[in-house]
């Protein structure tokens, strides 16, 4: 879950306009794909942040690795 109140969020548009809902709080799903098929990886320059599963079964990765050897 992620929440950041910059004052620019609009109730009912950016987050639910429901009583009790934290103002500006927007839930974002983190895991949207099965771990076995999560091929996406991303590294940022400012931090070693990895998104995805680099060990997922991926025939293309195996093919490229064999070519690199």
Q: How confident is the prediction along the chain (69 residues), in pLDDT tens digits per residue?
A: 455 566 777 778 777 788 887 776 666 766 667 766 666 655 555 555 556 666 777 788 889 889 998
Which of 44, 46, 45, 43 minimizes the C-alpha distance to 54?
Answer: 43
CA 53 to chain centre: 12
Look up tokens 């910059």; give the residue: 6
What are residue 61's phi and psi, to 5 degrees?
-60, -45
* pTM (2 d.p.): 0.32
Alpha carbons 62 and 24: distance in angstroms, whole number: 44
Alpha carbons 65 and 55: distance in angstroms, whole number: 13
């Amino acid at each position: 879950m992620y929440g950041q109140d910059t004052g620019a969020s609009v109730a009912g548009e950016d987050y639910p306009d429901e009583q009790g809902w934290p103002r500006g709080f927007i839930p974002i799903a983190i895991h949207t794909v099965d771990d076995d098929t999560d091929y996406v990886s991303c590294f940022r320059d400012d931090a070693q942040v990895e998104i995805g599963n680099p060990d997922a079964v991926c025939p293309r990765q195996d093919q490229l690795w064999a070519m690199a050897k």
